[in-house]
Copies of this chain bind each other. A is one copy, B any other.
């Protein structure tokens, strides 16, 4: 009995933090498959071939583990500014191409999927994701639109929201839900089609 137990006397510390990495990797996969609530620490431990208690040794709580698991994708920060700086006429296509290229990176995708799920998960998780999204992205886009197009602040916010809604729908459909026709579409097709939409949300009065 007790055969679900981890094998005992594990070589203490294979290499520095190797098991910790395995835990994070398993957590990303579990949160990505099941969403935050349905994912369990025990299932993550089993997936990482690790004792559940070890997870609590490395991470204080389930919420902390989730935060660490999705930390990576927040990186692109710098590139966003560069994209917004270019000429306004091709901003739509440029933005879509950048976002899609980012998502084609499997490492990014794996960490971003749990965040996309959390954004729609509950009325409690939504504001957490939205706060980050607004601070890192939406505010900058709205400011750029307001400055260039010289519209009111609320109009810029409205245009930004339209852009976000199409971006979210595209990414959710392609990478999370796997909608047929969208998940397997060539990137260039999407850049042209959705890029034109974004551009129109920027331009049209």
Contact = CB atoms under 8 A, between A and B. Distances in A.
- Chain A, interface SS category: helix
A168 B173 contact: yes
Contacts of A157: 180-181
Number of copies: 2
Interface in A152-176: 154, 157-162, 164-170, 172-174, 176
Interface residues of A, number: 48
B162 A193 contact: yes
A122 B35 contact: yes
A34 interface: yes
Interface of A: 33-35, 37-38, 116-117, 119-124, 126, 130, 154, 157-162, 164-170, 172-174, 176-182, 185, 189, 193-194, 196-197, 200-201, 204
22 contacts: A34-B123, A34-B124, A37-B37, A116-B120, A117-B121, A117-B122, A119-B120, A120-B177, A121-B121, A126-B176, A160-B181, A161-B181, A161-B182, A162-B194, A164-B173, A164-B179, A164-B182, A165-B169, A166-B166, A168-B169, A169-B169, A172-B172
